[in-house]
């Protein structure tokens, strides 16, 4: 007698509900139609449930903007798509102008030689002995030819520890990004592709930056700089702790909470945000990047903060409402 | 006659008898105990919510069947999210939707993807022209060089498939 099953509409009822939806969709909503519809819906609980479902269907579609919805649905894996992308990927390597197109199509990252998913890190040794660590959501193409050893950073961040080329005729080592190229000299350095610019930090040796526009500058160990195609930004100092991400750790020293949360968010699927009210709070500590849940727990335990979980994939870091008993 | 779902008593007996086993089975498969715990939990939730009385003759087969379905759903949801993020990556910054809007749209798209699953290609095409692109039935008939009656037949089939999938 619980009623739930009694109200379960059968296929015939769903078809009737569909017919009503279609009538309304065609613009037929005269008073007579409305009245007939109300009578239909009031016939039984199952009729009402059928209509609820019909409305849920149209409501779901209404929430999606037409063009975005189209692109998303068309973008879902279907036979033939991969091949088409591949053809484009090859074409895009053609020249500097094409890099722009490349950057705007992050899905090319899935075609990359080496890639990590969000929250994943990967360490690889290349054919020449160079060690490469890929940070979260990163992608790199590897092109070793008889003339050069080239890495192209598509997105994310890598830490490179170069090795001496074992071949009889040593080939130069080059890392390219959307904004230019880097020539390391016996070294350990990291490169991060940000939106519109690249950031390089040198931990050992030196790295020569050549921005796509032609400006050139050499960075020595302990320094970092950002560059765009049009030029190289100011050089600042960097310490070894900045490379700790490659060991799955983020070392914060007096870091604004907003920045820390933005960093942690890179390692998580879904949304992780910081309430602006606490974004300026300074925090210090070692935070595990490979377990961001633990990092968030650590924050909440040590600072006056609380996690607000809106959905499983959406967390806000907010001030803790100590002593508040108000509901909602 | 036909009960709505397995009774809570049956479920708790099932839970007591097989939850640990299911968790271990999932952990082996996923290589992650946390995700396995989530999925094991979701499996029982799904079982409780089933409309039809499940066949409990082979409880472990039933549980793994549900769990596999959930794994596929989860993978598909990630695919939808990925395809959506890809689609908005083309938008200039000021037009890009806020995180809140994103979540709402992703959720809707996941449901749409689930509703469209198994829909014949022709029905899906006609249905999306109406529901997403906002074309009238007449415009669709004209564009596809078919009759209004045919368009309506596909629309009805599309709506019914969507409602049945909810």
Q: Taking residues A84-102, what's their average pLDDT?
A: 32
Which of B87, B91, B124, B157 to probe the A interface (max A CBs under 10 A)?
A: B87
CB A264 within 8 A of CB A272: yes
Place of tokens 């009031």: A42
B65 near A CB under 8 A: no
Place of tokens 């109200």: A7
Q: Which comes out higher in pLDDT, residue B41 or A6?
A: B41
Chain-wide mean pLDDT for chain B? Answer: 82
Residues of A within 8 A of B88 (CB-CB) are 68
Whether B89 and A4 lie within 8 Å, measured CB to CB: no
CB A273 within 8 A of CB A316: yes
Q: What are phi and psi of A282, to 5 degrees?
A: -90, 130
pLDDT at A272: 87
CB A201 within 8 A of CB A184: no
- Using CA atoms, how far apart are residues A120 and A123, in angstroms rounded to an integer? 10
A64: nearest CA partner in chain B: B105
Q: Taking residues B131-148, what's their average pLDDT?
A: 92
pLDDT at B95: 65
B87 near A CB under 8 A: yes
Angle subtended at Cα A56 by Cα A51 and Cα A59, rounded to the nearest 5 degrees: 125
Q: What tokens does B132 get? A: 């997403």
pLDDT tens-digit profile of A297-318? 889 988 889 998 877 677 889 9
Provide the shortest C-alpha distance from residue A106 to chain B (in Å): 7
Whether B99 and A314 lie within 8 Å, measured CB to CB: yes
Tell me the whole-structure pTM to 2 decimals.
0.46
pLDDT at B77: 80
Per-residue pLDDT at A324 exceeds 80: no
Q: What tokens does A33 get? A: 């139609």
Whether B89 and A106 lie within 8 Å, measured CB to CB: yes
CB A175 within 8 A of CB A159: no
Band of the pLDDT at B54, cuts 50, 70, 90? low
Residues of B within 8 A of A8 (CB-CB) are 4, 51
Q: Taking residues B145-161, what's their average pLDDT?
A: 95
Q: Taking residues A100-109, what's their average pLDDT?
A: 36
Residues of B within 8 A of A61 (CB-CB) are 108, 112, 131-132
B7: nearest CA partner in chain A: A2
Cα–Cα distance list, A191 to A122, A161, A244 (Å): 15, 11, 14
Per-residue pLDDT at B46 exceeds 90: no
pLDDT at A3: 41
Q: Which comes out higher in pLDDT, residue A324 or B113?
A: B113
B98 near A CB under 8 A: no
Residues of A within 8 A of B85 (CB-CB) are 106
Provide the shortest C-alpha distance from residue A161 to chain B (in Å): 30
pLDDT at B8: 62
Q: Enter the DSSP assignment of A94.
A: S
B130 near A CB under 8 A: yes
B131: nearest CA partner in chain A: A61
pLDDT at A317: 92
Which of A20, A72, A308 to probe the B interface (max B CBs under 10 A)?
A: A72
Band of the pLDDT at A189, cuts 50, 70, 90? very high
pLDDT tens-digit profile of A233-277? 999 998 888 888 888 888 888 889 999 999 999 998 778 889 888
Per-residue pLDDT at A60 exceeds 80: yes
Band of the pLDDT at A4, cuts 50, 70, 90? very low
Picking from A15, A71, A73, the nearest residue to B156 by CB comes out as: A15
pLDDT tens-digit profile of A159-179? 999 887 777 777 889 999 988
B155 near A CB under 8 A: yes
Provide the shortest C-alpha distance from residue B49 to chain A (in Å): 11
Cα–Cα distance list, A262 to A114, A157, A258, A268, B24 (Å): 24, 15, 6, 10, 35
Of how many residues is chain B composed? 166
Provide the shortest C-alpha distance from residue B53 to chain A (in Å): 11
Q: What tokens does A89 get? A: 């990927």
Band of the pLDDT at B112, cuts 50, 70, 90? very high
Half-sphere exposure of B100 (CA within 13 A, CB side): 2
Whether B155 and A15 lie within 8 Å, measured CB to CB: no
Q: Taking residues A96-109, what's their average pLDDT?
A: 35
Place of tokens 């070894």: A240
How large is the angle between the packed helices A45-62 and B148-165, nearest 10 degrees?
A: 100
Per-residue pLDDT at B120 exceeds 50: yes
- Using CA atoms, how far apart are residues A62 and B134, in angstroms rounded to an integer? 10
Which of A27, A49, A58, A64 to probe the B interface (max B CBs under 10 A)?
A: A64
pLDDT at A6: 54
Residues paired with residue A226 on neighbouring β-strands, in sequence order: A199
CB A221 within 8 A of CB A202: yes
Chain-wide mean pLDDT for chain A? Answer: 80
Residues paired with residue A175 on neighbouring β-strands, in sequence order: A151, A182
pLDDT tens-digit profile of A30-45? 889 889 999 999 999 8
Residues of B within 8 A of A104 (CB-CB) are 89-90
Q: What tokens does A250 get? A: 């983020």
pLDDT at B6: 55
pLDDT at A102: 33
For residue B123, the surrounding DSSP H or E stretch is helix B121-131
pLDDT at B92: 65
Per-residue pLDDT at A90 exceeds 70: no
């Amino acid at each position: 007698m619980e009623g739930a099953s009694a109200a379960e509409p059968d296929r015939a009822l769903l078809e009737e509900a569909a017919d009503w939806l279609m009538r309304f969709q065609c613009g037929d909503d005269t008073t007579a139609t409305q009245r007939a519809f109300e009578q239909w819906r009031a016939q039984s609980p199952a009729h009402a449930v059928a209509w609820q479902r019909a409305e849920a269907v149209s409501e779901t579609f209404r929430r999606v903007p037409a063009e975005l919805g189209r692109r998303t649905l068309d973008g879902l894996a279907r036979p033939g798509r991969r091949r088409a992308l591949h053809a484009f990927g090859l074409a895009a390597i053609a020249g500097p102008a094409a890099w722009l197109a490349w950057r705007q199509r992050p899905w090319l990252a899935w075609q990359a030689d080496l890639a990590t998913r969000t929250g994943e890190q990967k360490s690889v040794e290349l054919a020449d002995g160079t060690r490469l660590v890929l940070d979260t959501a990163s992608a790199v193409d590897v092109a070793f030819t008889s003339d050069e050893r080239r890495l192209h950073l598509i997105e994310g961040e890598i830490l490179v520890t170069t090795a001496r080329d074992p071949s009889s005729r040593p080939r130069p080592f080059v890392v390219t990004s959307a904004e230019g190229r880097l020539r390391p000299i016996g070294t350990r350095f990291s490169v991060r592709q940000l939106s519109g610019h690249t950031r390089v930090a040198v931990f050992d040796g030196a790295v020569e930056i050549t921005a796509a526009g032609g400006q050139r500058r050499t960075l020595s160990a302990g320094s970092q700089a950002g560059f765009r195609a049009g030029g190289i930004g100011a050089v600042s100092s960097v310490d070894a702790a900045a490379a700790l991400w490659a060991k799955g750790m983020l070392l914060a020293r007096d870091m604004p909470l907003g920045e820390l949360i933005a960093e942690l968010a890179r390692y998580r699927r879904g949304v992780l945000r910081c309430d602006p009210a606490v974004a300026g709070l300074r925090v210090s500590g070692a935070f595990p990047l490979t377990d961001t849940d633990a990092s968030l727990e650590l924050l909440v335990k040590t600072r006056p903060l609380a996690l607000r979980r809106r959905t499983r994939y959406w967390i806000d870091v907010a001030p803790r409402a100590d002593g508040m008993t108000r509901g909602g | 006659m036909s009960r709505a779902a397995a009774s809570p008593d049956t479920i708790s007996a099932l839970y007591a008898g097989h939850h640990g086993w299911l968790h271990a089975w999932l952990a082996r498969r996923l290589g992650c105990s946390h995700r396995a715990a989530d999925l094991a939990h979701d499996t029982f939730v799904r079982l409780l919510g089933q409309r039809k009385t499940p066949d409990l003759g082979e409880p472990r087969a039933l549980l793994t069947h549900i769990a596999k379905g959930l794994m596929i759903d989860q993978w598909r949801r990630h695919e939808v999210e990925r395809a959506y993020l890809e689609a908005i990556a083309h938008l200039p910054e000021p037009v890009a939707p806020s995180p809140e809007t994103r979540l709402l749209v992703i959720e809707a798209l996941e449901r749409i993807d689930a509703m469209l699953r198994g829909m014949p290609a022709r029905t899906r095409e006609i249905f999306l022209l109406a529901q997403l692109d906002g074309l009238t039935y007449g415009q669709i008939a004209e564009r596809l060089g078919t009759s209004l009656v045919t368009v309506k037949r596909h629309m009805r089939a599309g709506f019914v498939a969507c409602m049945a999938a909810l």
